[in-house]
Amino acid sequence: MTELKDLEISYDNPNWCPGCGDFGIWVSIKNAIVQLNLNPWEVVLVSGIGCSSKLPYWVKTYGFNGLHGRPMPPAEAIRLANNGLTVIVIGGDGDQYGEGFNHLIHAARRNVNLTLIVHDNQIYGLTTGQYSPASDLGTKNKVTPVPTVEVPINAMSLALSAGATFVARGFAGDTKQETELIVEGVKHKGFSIIDTMQPCVTFNHKNTYSWFYERVYKLDKIGHDQKNKIKAFERAEEWPLKRFLKEGEREHIPTGIFFVEDRPTWEEGVPQISKQPLVHQSLENIDINPLIEELM
């Protein structure tokens, strides 16, 4: 049985700011691995660049910390090279919705069997607080002296239209729910995205824990049908808003599972790995003489 202590490293500790939402996601990932009883050496955490992307350093599984915006391609290839491994991709909103959004869309349409957790703090923290593709409409800070007219990216809607087969939103302030979502996401056969609202206590003074507590609600509490894509789109479009609030209006932020679909995975479309992962296949006796024969 895998226990929490099996996932702890002895030589370093997370260096996130005290109170950072990354802690909640970190705890939830470890809880989920324990609940799923995964062998730590058969889990690969793949991340990009940003505060959240350092997470793999602090979980004792295999980790690959690549380039900004680019954790998805290596993660996809890891699944093809060894489909026995559990792959979890970690990135921030800048990493996944800015620099590397392209890859997210393609991984979703391919239905690669991996789980993406986006630490969505709606800001660039590591570079000291610039607005991000997920920042609210009207965000005004040091790099946007004029309130931005750019509407925030709607990750849930985009993931749905791209063909993601498991679409969910979590909140770093609710680790119980976040753990459940990760467990379900990993168990799901196909591409799962968990957009996790993660307050940046240092640079985002608007979207705070209390701001979220006052606005989030759970989809499973209102009888949402996870199989209904149209309903999923409707819920996804509730937030983030592409308009300014009306007088006295407050956002409603759905959390939980928006949509689940059963569709063949990318890996299932590769007969070369149906019997044995690529990495375990023998390289002995590769005979290219038949190919040379064809050149005669």
Partner 1 sequence: MVDIQWLIGGEAGYGIMTSGVVMGKIFTRLGHSVFDYVEYPSLIRGGHNAYYVRASSSPIHSQKKTVDILVALNRHTVAKHANELSDHGVIIYDQDFKIDDIKLPPHVVAIPTPLVQITRDQGVDKLMMNTVAIASSLALFYHDFSVYETILNDAFGRKGGDVAAKNIAVAKAGFDFILKNHNDAFKEKVVKQEQKDVIIGGAEAVALGAIRAGLKFAAIYPMTPVNTVMNVLAMHALTYNIVVKEPEDEIAGINMTIGASFTGVRSMCATSGGGFSLMTEGLGLASQTEVPIVIIEGMRPGPATGMPTWTDQGDLRFVLHAHQGDFPRIILAPGDVFEAFSMTLHAFNLADKYQLPVIVLVDKYLMEGHATLESEKLRTESQNYKIERGKILTDDEAEKETDYKRYHLVEDGISPRSIPGQKGGIALTGSDEHDEKGLYNEEAEVRIAMMNKRYKKLEMATPEIPKVNTYGADDKTLTIIAFGSTKLPVLDAMEVLKKEGITIRFLQILSISPFPAVEVTNILNNSTKTFVIEGNYSGQLEGLIKEHTGLSINNHFRKYDGRPFYFEEIVEEVKKLI
Applying CB under 8 A, the residues found at the interface with partner 1 are 11-12, 39-42, 44, 46, 49, 54, 56-57, 60-67, 70, 72-78, 80-82, 84-85, 102-103, 105-106, 270-273, 278-279, 281, 283, 286, 288-289, 291-292, 295-296
Q: What is the DSSP string of 1-19?
A: ---GGGG--SS----SPTT
CB neighbour class for 81 (10 Å; exposed up to 12, middle 13-18, buried from 19):
middle
Largest CA distance in the chain: 80
Beta-carbon contacts of 76 under 8 Å, excluding residues fewer than 6 positions away, are: 107, 110, 112, 114, 266
Nearer to partner 1, 69 or 185 (CB): 69
Nearer to partner 1, 29 or 78 (CB): 78
Give the C-alpha separation, 208 to 186, whole Å.
Answer: 28
For residues 113 and 189, the answer to whether their CB atoms sit within 8 Å is yes
Nearer to partner 1, 65 or 202 (CB): 65
Nearer to partner 1, 124 or 258 (CB): 124
Least distance (Å) from partner 1 to the CB of residue 104?
A: 10
Give the C-alpha separation, 213 to 203, whole Å.
Answer: 19
Q: Within a 10 A sphere around the Cβ of 209, how many other Cβ atoms?
A: 16
Nearer to partner 1, 77 or 201 (CB): 77
Nearer to partner 1, 43 or 155 (CB): 43
Least distance (Å) from partner 1 to the CB of residue 50?
A: 12
Give the C-alpha separation, 24 to 260, whole Å.
Answer: 24
Least distance (Å) from partner 1 to the CB of residue 49?
A: 7
Least distance (Å) from partner 1 to the CB of residue 230?
A: 28
Closest to 256 measured CA to CA, from 283, 224, 293: 224
Least distance (Å) from partner 1 to the CB of residue 147?
A: 33
Residue 201 phi/psi, 5° resolution? -75, -15
Least distance (Å) from partner 1 to the CB of residue 290?
A: 8
